[in-house]
């Protein structure tokens, strides 16, 4: 037998209820289905009751809206005689509810008993509707077998009676039993009670445990437990397996996937829980059991901690005073007093000196807690032995959870080191001897920052050494080696980072040394002692060396070298690429590389693909990561073409300017590579993708200024005929000069639409004064809409490109 529970969103609409029917009817064994009220109805029931209790006639409007919604759902999921029968039951139930509301309105009073009765109607209505939708389903009244007794101000399940009644009710069980969740009744007087917010989960768990079900499935609107709140951390992912302890810790500290008490009944019977998505039923979900996830895990997502959870409704109450030291029973009095007030404590921290005890409660309970404790310790306060009880609000509690933390040294050190580096002060902390949870309290304003910092630290890695493999040791690669050589000692002494070059390669030879190469002699040694190399041999040697914290640096323009990235990333080797081929390759491959890097907890960086050493891509990523949205890009991205159009004059025609670009090594020996605009297109595609748009090279509209016929034939044919364009360009230049305008080859992206081509810019345009081979980009975002962000500077050159590559390497060292 299975027990399936469907939450409010799962039964909140016509389509979702039809999904529920498909899921239930696909089960090939007896099943008990527990349902919540339609999404949002519980809140509306209470709101309507409060309006009625104050004599506000607006309660009628709220009630009519509930009637209309339930009628709409019935009409959408059923037809014919079945619809008429269910509609009759629904309307009868709503009539009962209306009479209660009318009574509350007339006497202007809402007792707890009446409130409990009103709020029960949500599940009573939804269960009638869902039962009518599912074939052969039989409806049960949970008030007849879920029994509670009063404990302080709460209703607590009487398990002895409840378990006995459940077994009696469901043996034998029908093919499909339909049960309203949340609702219960008092063993004292039989009045309607409830199990509290989220109580439908608890109902399902109680039934599953009593009947020893094979599994409890919680169907909701998420794919399962996440490593962190995905609304705060984009890189959060679904946790595939949790132990009962881990799930319980995450639930108690704010993970709202399931109601915390749900776990206890099935835990004692060792009945697994599976969290599933009603709207994505094929997703693997999260499986919760008594098994150790360390033994089961087969994915690279296995981590020391399983998840991060938080409670943003936190207040710290502190009882302190020198009169507490050595006095027996102080904590007993504290927590007895809180229990008498029905106040729940979810974290406790005490100084070993015994002079203070701090505990966390919800903000709404703080005033009562302070009042009751001030009363309890009034004699001690009057004598000065204990200070006035204080409450500190606007706080948040964060917990990192994972059974793999047990007996793993350094977790607390890493946690507090991460927070310290982020500039976040810990106000209070606690860790139990079970070592499955480290909890701490911080200011609420730092919650988002803390969660992101912790997630990055624990789900990626933090390194002190990077082992570097460099391929392409020519112009850019050679400059990079020189820069690393000059910075090695400084990085070690000032940053605690050691860059260890363990391999270099060119197109013919490679040189590897696990301990690190001598940077003063490595290029000579490569020529004289290097082993034969090819992309395949290089890949195999790197994988064979299997060195930790490795970074592969590509300073080539080789398509075959770019083809190695996926393999290397899957071996947990980060990649820094000056090579533009991978990032501008088909979008599917680009996303694959990015996703592989993310999942592996490593980096795929290519800042120098655009603008050499200019911080363009990193700046865009910072904007996006901080919540901004890039709307438009306009850029001059070709130093070669900018040089040509800055050089053309009355004395220097187009053909001569092209020749000068080649001679100055701004252009390739075959300048048609630059004139074709392919390089600019690649750069624009990379920028558009980094801005969040799925763009292919073929999507870019190219308006070239050199006709296609000049790209055919040999390079000699090109030089022989290119002067034919001189007169046309001189005429165009003169006209523009008369208007104080200049030509610029501009790459632009507007909401994903990409284009490259010549445009005319006036003297007030930011591109007008762009000199030499410089690059410039204007970034328009939601924040920088009226005044775009401008990045400008050297966009070419081996030295600045090498510096950009170096910056990417350092960024890996700094974030890990």
User: How distant is the alpha carbon of residue 785 from its chain centre?
Assistant: 26
Backbone angles phi, psi at 369, to 5 degrees: -60, -45
Residue 795: DSSP 8-state:
-
Four-CA torsion 553, 559, 563, 565, nearest 10 degrees: 20
Map tokens 């079970």 to a residue.
434
Q: How far apart are CA 77 and CA 50, in angstroms?
A: 31
38 contacts 126 by C-beta, under 8 angstroms: yes
Structure-block tokens of residue 583: 């990032």
Number of CB atoms found within 10 A of residue 480's CB: 28
Pairing of strands 176-180, 215-220: unpaired
Residue 764 φ/ψ region, left for φ over 0, alpha for ψ in the -120 to 50 degree band, beta for the rest:
alpha
Pairing of strands 273-277, 192-194: unpaired
> Bridge partners of 220?
277
Residue 625 burial (C-beta neighbours within 10 Å; 0-12, 13-18, 19+): exposed
Map tokens 């050494």 to a residue.
465
User: How distant is the alpha carbon of residue 301 from its chain centre?
Assistant: 14
Buried/exposed 725-764: b ≥16 CB within 10 Å, e otherwise: bbeebbebbeeeeeeebbbbbbbbbeeeebbbbebebeee
> Bridge partners of 634?
748, 778
Residue 683 appears among annotated catalytic residues: yes
Map tokens 């506000």 to a residue.
56
For the chain, the helix, strand and coil percentages under 3-state DSSP, each to the nearest 5: 45, 20, 35
Pairing of strands 604-605, 241-243: unpaired
Structure-block tokens of residue 418: 């991460």
DSSP output for 125-184:
HHHHHHHHHSTTEEE--GGGT-EEEEETTEEEE-HHHHHHHHHHHTSS--SEEEEESSEE
Angle at 147 (CA atoms; ends 141, 153), nearest 5 degrees: 125
Q: Three-class SS string for 693-753? A: CCCCHHHCEEECCCCHHHHCCCHHHHHHHHHHHHHHHHHHHHHHHHCCEEEEEEEEEECCE
172 preceded by a cis bond (ω within 30 of 0): yes
Residue 1: DSSP 8-state:
-
Residue 751 φ/ψ region, left for φ over 0, alpha for ψ in the -120 to 50 degree band, beta for the rest:
left
DSSP output for 312-370:
EEEEEEEEE-GGGTT-TTHHHHHHHHHHHTT----EEEE-TTSSEEEEEE-HHHHHHHH
Q: How far apart are CA 177 and CA 196, in angstroms?
A: 23
Q: Give strand ranges (E) for 407-519.
A: 428-431, 437-443, 465-471, 498-505, 509-512
Which of 580, 603, 683, 792 is labelled catalytic? 683
Number of CB atoms found within 10 A of residue 93's CB: 15
Map tokens 């729940």 to a residue.
344
Q: How far apart are CA 379 and CA 333, in angstroms?
A: 13
Say which residues have a Cβ less than 8 Å from residue 373's Cβ, sequence separation at least 6: 317, 319, 334, 337, 338, 389
Residues designated as active site: 683
């Amino acid at each position: 037998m299975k027990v399936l529970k469907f939450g409010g969103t799962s039964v909140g609409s016509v389509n979702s209820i039809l999904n529920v029917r498909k899921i239930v009817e696909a089960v090939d064994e007896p099943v008990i289905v527990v349902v919540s009220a339609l999404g949002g109805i519980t809140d509306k029931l209470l709101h309507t009751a409060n309006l009625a209790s104050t004599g506000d006639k607006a309660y009628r409007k709220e009630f009519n809206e509930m009637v209309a919604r339930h009628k709409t759902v019935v009409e959408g999921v059923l037809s014919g005689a079945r619809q008429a029968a269910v509609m009759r039951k629904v309307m009868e139930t709503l009539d009962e509810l209306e009479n209660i509301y009318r009574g509350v309105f007339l006497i202007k009073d809402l007792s707890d008993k009446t409130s409990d009765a009103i709020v029960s109607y949500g599940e009573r209505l939804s269960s009638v509707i869902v039962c009518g939708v599912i074939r052969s389903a039989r409806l049960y009244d949970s008030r007849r077998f879920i029994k509670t007794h009063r404990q302080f101000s709460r209703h607590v399940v009487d398990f002895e009676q409840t378990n006995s009644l459940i077994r009696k009710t469901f043996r034998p069980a029908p093919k499909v039993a339909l049960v309203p969740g949340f609702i219960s009744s008092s063993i004292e007087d039989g009045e309607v009670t409830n199990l509290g917010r989220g109580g439908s989960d608890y109902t399902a768990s109680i039934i599953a445990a009593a009947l020893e079900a094979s599994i409890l499935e919680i169907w909701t609107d998420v794919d399962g437990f996440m490593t962190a709140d995905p609304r705060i951390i984009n890189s959060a992912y679904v946790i595939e397996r949790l132990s009962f302890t881990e799930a319980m810790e995450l639930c108690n500290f704010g993970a709202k996937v399931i109601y915390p008490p749900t776990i206890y009944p099935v835990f004692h019977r060792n009945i697994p829980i599976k969290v599933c998505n009603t709207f994505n039923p094929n997703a693997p979900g999260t499986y919760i059991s008594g098994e150790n996830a360390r033994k089961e895990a087969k994915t690279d997502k296995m981590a020391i901690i399983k998840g991060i959870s938080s409670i943003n409704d936190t207040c710290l109450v502190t009882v302190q005073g020198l009169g507490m030291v050595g006095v027996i029973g102080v904590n007993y009095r504290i927590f007895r007093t809180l229990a008498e007030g029905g106040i729940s404590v979810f974290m406790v921290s005490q100084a070993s000196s015994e002079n203070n005890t701090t505990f966390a409660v919800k903000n709404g309970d703080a005033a009562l807690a302070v009042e009751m404790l001030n009363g309890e310790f009034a004699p001690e306060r009057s004598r000065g032995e204990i200070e006035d009880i204080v409450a500190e609000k606007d706080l948040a509690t964060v917990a990192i959870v994972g059974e793999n933390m047990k007996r793993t040294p350094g977790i607390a050190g890493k946690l507090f080191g991460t927070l310290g580096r982020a500039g976040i002060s810990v106000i209070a902390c606690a860790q139990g001897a079970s070592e499955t949870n480290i909890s701490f309290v911080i200011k609420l304003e730092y919650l988002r920052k803390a969660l992101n910092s912790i997630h990055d630290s624990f789900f990626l890695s933090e390194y002190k050494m990077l082992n570097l493999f460099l391929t392409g040791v020519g112009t850019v690669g050679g400059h990079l080696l020189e820069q690393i050589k000059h910075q090695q000692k400084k990085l070690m002494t000032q940053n605690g980072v050691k860059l260890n070059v363990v391999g270099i390669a060119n197109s013919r030879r490679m040189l590897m040394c696990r301990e690190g190469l001598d940077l003063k002699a490595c290029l000579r040694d490569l020529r004289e002692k290097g082993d034969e190399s090819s992309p395949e041999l290089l890949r195999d040697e790197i994988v064979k060396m299997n060195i930790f914290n490795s970074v592969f640096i590509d300073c080539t323009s080789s398509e075959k070298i770019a083809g190695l990235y996926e393999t290397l990333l899957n071996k947990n080797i980060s990649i820094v690429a000056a090579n533009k081929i991978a990032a501008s390759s088909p979008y599917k491959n680009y996303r694959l590389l990015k996703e592989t890097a993310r999942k592996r907890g490593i980096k795929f960086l290519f800042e120098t693909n655009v603008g050499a050493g200019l911080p363009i891509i990193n700046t865009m990523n910072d904007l996006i990561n901080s919540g901004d949205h890039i709307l438009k890009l306009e850029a001059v991205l070709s130093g070669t073409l900018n040089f040509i159009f800055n050089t053309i004059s009355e004395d220097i025609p187009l053909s001569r300017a092209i020749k000068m670009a080649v001679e100055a090594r701004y252009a390739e020996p075959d300048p048609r590579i630059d004139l074709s605009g392919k390089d600019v297109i690649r750069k624009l595609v990379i920028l558009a993708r980094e801005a969040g748009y799925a763009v292919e090279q073929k999507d870019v509209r190219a308006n070239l200024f050199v006709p296609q016929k000049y790209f055919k034939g040999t390079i000699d044919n090109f030089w022989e005929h290119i002067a034919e364009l001189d007169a046309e360009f001189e005429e165009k230049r003169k006209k523009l000069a008369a208007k104080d305008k200049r030509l610029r080859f501009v790459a632009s992206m507007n909401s994903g639409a990409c284009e490259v081509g010549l445009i005319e810019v006036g003297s007030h345009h930011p591109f007008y004064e762009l000199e030499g081979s410089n690059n410039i980009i204007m970034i328009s975002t939601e924040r920088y809409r009226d005044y775009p962000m401008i990045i400008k500077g050297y966009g070419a050159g081996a030295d600045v490109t090498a510096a950009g590559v170096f910056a990417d390497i350092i960024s890996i060292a700094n974030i890990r």
